[in-house]
Structure 1
Amino acid sequence: MKTSYDLTLNIRRYDPYQNRTWVQTYQLEAGRIMRFVDLFRKINDEQDATLAWGSSCEHGQCGSCSVRINGKPMLACELLVENAVNEFGSTTFFIEPLPVASVVRDLVIDTDQAYARIDQVKPYIISPRQPAADGEAHQISPEELDRYVDATRCINCFCCSAACIASHDTFLGPNAMLAAIVRVMDPREDEKQQRLETIYSENGVYRCHSSQACSFVCPKEIDVAHFMALAKQGAITSS
């Protein structure tokens, strides 16, 4: 079993002070189970302290380390070196920021700008359904929960939006649509109309091209395209 690899990382850099973009090449030896966030840290420690990249939890739950590797949006904290070599059949990788918002520096994007699309759909319960008169909390049956529980695992890493072939100028994006769809399907939410108006708006679900790229790249393995199809069919309203 090969224990280490000689890697070439071609990383798209951006210096906001000089407004300059370039691709910088780094050569490094890495163990087979090192993650790509470990590679970025290794570069910072041993070669170039100026390389900027994002991370927080590094456990695949926050989405802040999302980048595009050889054209595929991925979480840098989940991708192991050996898996990357096997998936792409190469030890050379081109790494760039996700194209869903302005670049702040190198691999870091403006997350406030990216989240603005999510904010438009109000990804929270607006009008909670009132509990029963006896004071018991509102309960969700297993059948109701099964309809949409997979969609609740979305971490808003924006990988699906980066892979989406619809225009970012005219489409709110698959993760924003998913956030709205979840709340429409949630029987605890009484306010459905606002969300339905957003889902079926000019920038809503009908801008989806049904390429299923969102499902293909989702690191949480959510079938995003399935929920988009349900919305197009009008099959998302809970009882």
Structure 2
Amino acid sequence: MQVLFKIVRQSQNTGPRIQTYQLDVEPGNTILDCLNRIKWEQDGTLAFRKNCRNTICGSCSMRINGRSALACKENIGAEIARLNQISEQSTETESVSRDREKTENSALNALPGAPPRATAPGAIPEITIAPMGNMPVVKDLVVDMQRFWNNLEAVDPYVSNSARKIPEREFLQTPEERSRLEESGNCILCGACYSECNAVEVNPNFVGPHALAKAYRMVEDDRDDQTESRLQNYNQANSGVWSCTRCFYCNSVCPMGVEPLDKIGKIKDEILERSDDQASRSIRHRKVLIDLVKKGGWVDERKFAVMVVGNFFRDIKGLLSLGPVGFQSIKRGKMPLTFEASEGTKEVRSLIEAVQELESKSSKAPKK
């Protein structure tokens, strides 16, 4: 089958441009196979990273049709099928919207047809390949990952056993202890999660999901003796776990199933367990949110900002900062004067209490 590869090319001194290459490929060929053929047969100047070709090293991570993935893992047939599925879902959504428009406006006797499929019958499929995001481009699909590695180093991703002082023997673990480290230990540092991270895009100080997934491994590892100092480091407002926007992109693109977002959430749980609502605004935000939902089934907007930003009327500067927003909300009728608890408040409260009880038992249980 014929496939068009639209590759975003650039160097440090030029802007991006798209160059198109056409190949005769098999559905089972990987994207990396095709890039190799383009380089060997058509254009030796094309630059990209590769190494193992077996989903182990993480070198060939790049954006394939808008999402970060490993070129050695994605194949042509699966990628074209994915594009067609996305196109079909978009068509269905647009069709529903058009039906609604037709019902509301009977004057519209005819509506334009659905958008073409990603691969229209008879058309040559197209696959767009671009460099990873959130990192400067060196050349073509090669990016500068220095900040990626610096952020990883910032979480000190190494097991510390200095307190034990037993260098003559290894520190053995049971299968159960080792199993708790499997997901985070599977990270191959390909950079896909970092490339798609919305928080990194707007906050250059955020260490990124890859670093915090590795950080959780250190927190969970019973051989490490620096848990408390680690949690203080990961609790930093601008660089640590509270900068995560929970967009879920890191989980969706991870080729190894590490689920960085879940690991960030577990670090947050460890921090919250050790802190009260006066520790920081980020911690207060989480605790106040849970308390208000527990009391009323949903958030009482009249109290939330005052309790979090104003710190229960303790933070005068914080209260003053709420003035402009509060005034505009009242002026536009967006500030509720009363609060009505939700009908399911008792059920919500019982669920929260049940989860809190389970978490309490889990935290008190000794690690084997």
Q: TM-score, normalised by structure 2?
A: 0.59
The one of 155, 169, 176 aligned to 1:143 = 176
Aligned in 2, Cα 1:128/1:185: closer, same or farther, shift over 3 Å? farther
Flag the structure with more relative contact order, 1 or 2, with Cα contacts below 8 A and sequence separation at least 6. Answer: 1
Aligned 8 A contact 1:130 1:138 in 2: no
1:91-150 Cα deviation digits (max 9, x unpaired): 2111111113211100001133321111111211233563779x6532222332232321
Aligned in 2, Cα 1:200/1:67: closer, same or farther, shift over 3 Å? same
Structure-2 separation of matches of 1:140 and 1:131: 17
Correspondence for 2:253: 217
Q: TM-score, normalised by structure 1?
A: 0.89
1:126 aligns with 2:175: no
1:167 shift after superposition: 3.1
SS of the equivalent of 2:256 reads coil
Relative to total residues, which structure has the larger helix share, 1 or 2?
A: 2
Structure-1 separation of matches of 2:220 and 2:45: 45
Structure-2 separation of matches of 1:7 and 1:170: 40
Correspondence for 2:10: 14
RMSD value, Cα = 2.2
Relative to total residues, which structure has the larger strand share, 1 or 2?
A: 1
Structure-2 separation of matches of 1:43 and 1:75: 17
Correspondence for 2:221: 186
Correspondence for 1:196: 231
Gaps in structure 1 of 5+ consecutive residues: none
The one of 37, 43, 46 aligned to 1:51 = 46
Gaps in structure 2 of 5+ consecutive residues: 85-118, 120-124, 274-362
Structure 2 counterparts to residues 25-174 of structure 1, below 5 A: 25-89=20-84, 90=119, 91-128=125-162, 130=164, 137-168=170-201, 169-174=204-209
**Aligned-partner residue type, residue 41 of structure 1:** N
Structure-2 separation of matches of 1:61 and 1:192: 29
**Aligned-partner residue type, residue 224 of structure 2:** E
1:166 shift after superposition: 1.3
Structure-1 separation of matches of 2:24 and 2:70: 21
1:50-97 Cα deviation digits (max 9, x unpaired): 000000111111111000011110000111111111112242111111
Structure-1 separation of matches of 2:250 and 2:17: 28
Aligned in 2, Cα 1:153/1:128: closer, same or farther, shift over 3 Å? farther
Moved more, 165-174 or 71-80: 165-174
Structure-2 separation of matches of 1:136 and 1:49: 52
Aligned 8 A contact 1:129 1:138 in 2: no
Structure-2 separation of matches of 1:157 and 1:178: 13
SS of the equivalent of 1:44 reads helix
Aligned 8 A contact 1:153 1:222 in 2: yes
Structure number with larger C-alpha Rg: 2
**Aligned-partner residue type, residue 88 of structure 1:** L
Structure-2 separation of matches of 1:116 and 1:150: 22
Structure-2 separation of matches of 1:22 and 1:132: 57
1:205 shift after superposition: 0.7
**Aligned-partner residue type, residue 247 of structure 2:** S
Structure-1 separation of matches of 2:211 and 2:132: 16
